[in-house]
Structure 1
Amino acid sequence: MFTQKIVFEPSKIAELRHKAASESVPVPTRVEAVMSLIWSYARKASRSNLVIPRQAVMSQAMDLRLRIPSNVLPQDAIGNLQIGFSLKKDAESEFEIPEIVAAFRKTKEGVNEMIKESVQSNITGQSLLSLMAETVSESPDIDRYIMSSWCRKPFYEVDFGSGSPVWVGFASHTNYDNMVGVVLIDSKEVDGVEAWISLPEEDMSLFVDDQELLAYAVLNPPVLT
């Protein structure tokens, strides 16, 4: 796996959100738009390198702290309190960004409603475990895209005594050749997004050279300017 950083400036995110809009989702969030774009072009690179295209599954992490009331989950609870949901695409399916955004939003709203209903019925743990089982039981013969957004997390406000960070980065490791990782982080510039993307080497070479993608993002710009 090779990891690269691409940066989306606020003006380009605005253009991308406009492109990603549809009748069902007239105002996509920046995370929905950016993740859908990345999935589309990462999948395009993968399909170009495969003799027989594989099914694609995107798994997106959701923060449970924002979705479970404090009387069920205390605000000071410790741990990685998240759950994932998945979007699937058949091997031969084309990827249109507005379509991905619409599916992304519909699935996310379905999970939100499931959590709300399970809290009211006092079966939150059972429902979350069932959803997790669905996510991890996929066939191994697929392209997995594991995505997470750390946007709106106050990393740049952290101060351990030497001042706030000049720049926040990301590092990861995976042992799975067909598991792609994507993490979004706020850039230092307000409303910009840095995307850290791990792809197989042959896919990455096509991904970072795709001019349609680079119309919206800058590849590995300097941290300090």
Structure 2
Amino acid sequence: MWKALTMVARAKHGRLRPSFLVHSFNLRGKIAMPVPDNSFGNFTNPALARFTADEDENKKVELDHFVDRVHDGIRKRVTDSAKISSDDDLFSSVVSTKTEMIEEFHRSDADFYMFNSWCRMPVYEVDFGWGKPGWFSAVVVPGHNMFHFMDTKDGDGIEAWVSLEEDDMLLFQENPDIKAFTGQE
């Protein structure tokens, strides 16, 4: 999806642009400090990935380029998280990541995308007393370059909730990679 978004930006602006991908990263089990078993709530600090547009404009942008960037961002988050052994370390890590995100978000020459995944979360097993849900959806703010992934109810697929500006969505839907992946060739 990130590759397709880069091609949307290229079509809109006539050139490759840098982009910044933020994706949720669960800190549970990855930090050195103990987290009580009965704790609840979000315990995340995003993993960050960058696409720099300094590559040759005529060179084909390949999927593995984006996969490598995401992998590097996750590896860095895992390495950094393993060093967190106190509340002060945790606070410092979160503040540092949020500051970096804010700085990138305010760059006028870069595109900013937020990805979140609830895959493998048992959302269809939740029962508050009136039965398990027939359908579960994510909240995605319209037009804010947000992407949310969830398992389908039958567990055989993944739903992607995509939120883009209308013009961007039209270009995104026509991207050959997206069409091929969704079987709309």
TM-score computed with the length of structure 2 as normaliser: 0.82
Aligned to 2:171: 206
Distance 2:73 2:138 in 1: 27
* Pair 1:216–1:160, CA change in 2 (3 A): same
Moved over 6 A (4+): none
- Determine which structure has greater relative contact order: mean sequence separation of CA pairs < 8 Å that are 6+ residues apart, divided by chain length: 1
Choose from 49, 65, 73 the match for 2:35: 73
Q: Tell me, which stretches of 5 or more residues in structure 1 are unaligned?
A: 1-37, 220-225
TM-score computed with the length of structure 1 as normaliser: 0.69
**Counterpart contact for 2:31–2:83, Cα < 8 Å:** no
Q: Tell me, which stretches of 5 or more residues in structure 2 are unaligned?
A: none
Choose from 9, 12, 27 the match for 1:64: 27
Q: Counterpart amino acid of 2:102?
A: V
Equivalent positions of 1:170-185 (< 5 A) are: 170-173=138-141, 179-185=144-150
Q: CA deviation at 1:164?
A: 1.3
Q: Counterpart amino acid of 1:214?
A: K
Aligned to 1:104: 70
Q: CA deviation at 1:165?
A: 1.6
Aligned pairs, number = 178
Distance 2:29 2:147 in 1: 21
The C-alpha deviation readout for 1:7-51, integer Å capped at 9, x for no partner, is xxxxxxxxxxxxxxxxxxxxxxxxxxxxxxx11112212221124
Secondary structure of 1:123's match? helix
The C-alpha deviation readout for 1:130-177, integer Å capped at 9, x for no partner, is 222222221331211011111111101011222212221122226xx6
Q: Counterpart amino acid of 1:212?
A: D
Equivalent positions of 1:90-169 (< 5 A) are: 90-91=52-53, 93=55, 95-119=61-85, 123-138=89-104, 139-141=106-108, 142-169=110-137
Aligned-pair identity in percent equals: 26
Q: CA deviation at 1:122?
A: 6.9
Distance 1:92 1:57 in 2: 14
**Counterpart contact for 1:83–1:128, Cα < 8 Å:** yes
The C-alpha deviation readout for 1:45-96, integer Å capped at 9, x for no partner, is 2221124553211111111224236x63223334322111221122454642
2:52 aligned with 1:85: no
Q: CA deviation at 1:120?
A: 7.8
Aligned to 1:215: 180
Choose from 142, 159, 163 the match for 1:194: 159
**Counterpart contact for 2:31–2:85, Cα < 8 Å:** yes
Distance 1:148 1:197 in 2: 11
Q: CA deviation at 1:190?
A: 2.1
Distance 2:23 2:117 in 1: 8
Q: Counterpart amino acid of 2:38?
A: D
What value does the CA root-mean-square deviation take over the aligned residues? Answer: 2.5
